[in-house]
Amino acid sequence: MKNPIDLNKVEKILANDPGGMLKALWNLPEQCEEALTIGRGVQVPPDYKAVSNIVITGLGGSAIGGDFLRLYVNDKLGIPVVVNRDYILPKFIDNKTLLFAVSYSGNTEETLSAYSQAREMGAKIIALTNGGKLRAMAEQDGAPVIVVPAGISPRAATGFLLIPTLAVLESLGLIADLTEEMNDLTATLRNLREQLDFSLPIQRNLAKQIAQRFFGKIPVIWAASGNTEVVATRWKGQINENAKAPAYWNVFPELNHNEIVGFEEPVELLEQLEIVILRDKDDHPRVQRRMDISQEIIKDVVSGVTEVWSSGEGRLSKLFSLAYIGDHVSVYLAAMYGIDPTPVKNIDFLKNKLAQG
């Protein structure tokens, strides 16, 4: 195994981040504010309000905002919200569907395929993109296009790829005014970025501490179904894409009915698992109890278990605060492996090969 880079050596962290992933993380609160302004400026036809379901179609960093939206509106909207990560759309989509086609680059082939289908199915479409073919197609079709700034990786653009969709729901009157929620979100993130900043030593930086625990191990992220589950997928994806390392996730209570049994063999492999449990005061009380008992079951078998708690008051703050810690962990883990977090050469390779036919 590689020798880890010392996370107290600030210049080494920066040298491993030529693409500026840490800078993009630092800018997230401002990105969220800008995203709200962009979203509130979108002209949406009034008939877009008459919908019986909402679909967000996208992949990877452009789809995760859909999951945030789904969880955010879960207890606010009386209609189903579905996130689609495929070429093909579900058959229920029709002219009562509000469909967000989200692709930061605007060139992701699955999203373009889903967009074309949504057109044929008569959905009320809004494109959210920086440009590419998606923007061109939507403009040609006369569908509203939300254009967000370029220059960062899609996975660093979660504010841009989520908040305009919420702002659209706000302007359609489908959800309440977002001002208070957004103020709480940006204040929470501003506070958190000080605590997670690369300049802080390991003893005072939770993200660096977790990165150290993950180094050389297999991260496993557990969260609560219907609440923090989106953040578990986010942690996994960020570890994969930024640190170029494997990671796995699951949710309570489901994992208590299968995964929890699999902690007996092979002992040597189980010792390599480093578990993080994402916790939130809003988790169902029985789920919270399950999280406590599950730790008792596994704690002597695995490499370690760490609880990470959400912060902030509003729903967005709680989800984003947990995600933000994971984002930092993934970049510090990349630094420890001596890896540049920004390039995703396996994704690029796949996209290029597929583009050849």
Scanning 75-83, 99-107, 291-299, 330-338 for contacts with ligand F6R by CB under 6 A, the matching segment is 99-107
Cα separation of 182 and 159, whole Å?
A: 11
Q: What are phi and psi of 90, to 5 degrees?
A: -65, 155
Smallest gap from Cβ 241 to ligand F6R, in A, equals: 6
**Considering 91, 257, 281, 345, which one is annotated as catalytic?**
257
- How many CB atoms lie under 10 A from the CB of residue 299? 11
Reported as half-sphere exposure (CB side, CA atoms, 13 A), residue 157 has a value of 23
Clarify whether 257 is annotated catalytic. yes
Closer to ligand F6R by CB, 17 or 274: give it: 17
Per-residue mark of binding to ligand F6R, 181-210 (x: CB under 6 A): ------------------------------
Among 70, 124, 135, 155, binds ligand F6R (CB under 6 A): 155
Interaction between residue 153 and ligand F6R (CB under 6 A): yes
Give the alpha-carbon dihedral of 321, 325, 326, 332, to 10 degrees: 160
Smallest gap from Cβ 221 to ligand F6R, in A, equals: 17
Smallest gap from Cβ 202 to ligand F6R, in A, equals: 27
Closer to ligand F6R by CB, 127 or 185: give it: 127
Smallest gap from Cβ 237 to ligand F6R, in A, equals: 7
The residues in 252-281 that bind ligand F6R, with binding defined as CB under 6 A, are: none
**Considering 241, 244, 274, 328, which one is annotated as catalytic?**
241
Smallest gap from Cβ 327 to ligand F6R, in A, equals: 12
- Decide: residue 201, CB within 10 A, 0-12 exposed, 13-18 middle, 19+ buried: exposed
Q: Transcribe 268-326 into DSSP letters.
A: HHHTTEEEEEEE-TTS-HHHHHHHHHHHHHHTTTSSEEEEEE--SSSHHHHHHHHHHHH
Q: Transcribe 197-260 into DSSP letters.
A: -TTS-GGG-HHHHHHHHHTTSEEEEEEETTTTHHHHHHHHHHHHHHH----EEEEETGGGGTGG
Smallest gap from Cβ 223 to ligand F6R, in A, equals: 20
Interaction between residue 108 and ligand F6R (CB under 6 A): yes
Closer to ligand F6R by CB, 95 or 346: give it: 346
Q: Name the residue type at position 115.
A: Y
Residue count of the chain: 357
**Position of minimal CB gap to ligand F6R:** 60
Closer to ligand F6R by CB, 7 or 344: give it: 344
Closer to ligand F6R by CB, 26 or 104: give it: 104
Clarify whether 208 is annotated catalytic. no
Scanning 103-111, 113-121, 199-207, 299-307 for contacts with ligand F6R by CB under 6 A, the matching segment is 103-111
The residues in 46-75 that bind ligand F6R, with binding defined as CB under 6 A, are: 59-62
Beta pairing class for 248-252 and 304-309: unpaired
Residue count, binding to ligand F6R (CB under 6 A): 15
Smallest gap from Cβ 155 to ligand F6R, in A, equals: 3
Cβ atoms of 151 and 21 within 8 Å: the answer is no
Task: Look up residue 158 and give its two tokens.
Answer: 């979660």
SS3 129: strand
Please list, in sequence order, all residues whose beta carbon lies within 8 angstroms of the beta carbon of residue 249, skipping any fewer than 6 positions away: 220, 221, 222, 223, 232, 233, 235, 236
SS3 130: coil
Among 154, 312, 314, 326, binds ligand F6R (CB under 6 A): 154
Binding site for ligand F6R (CB under 6 A): 59-62, 103-105, 108, 111, 153-155, 241, 344, 347
Active site residues: 241, 257, 351
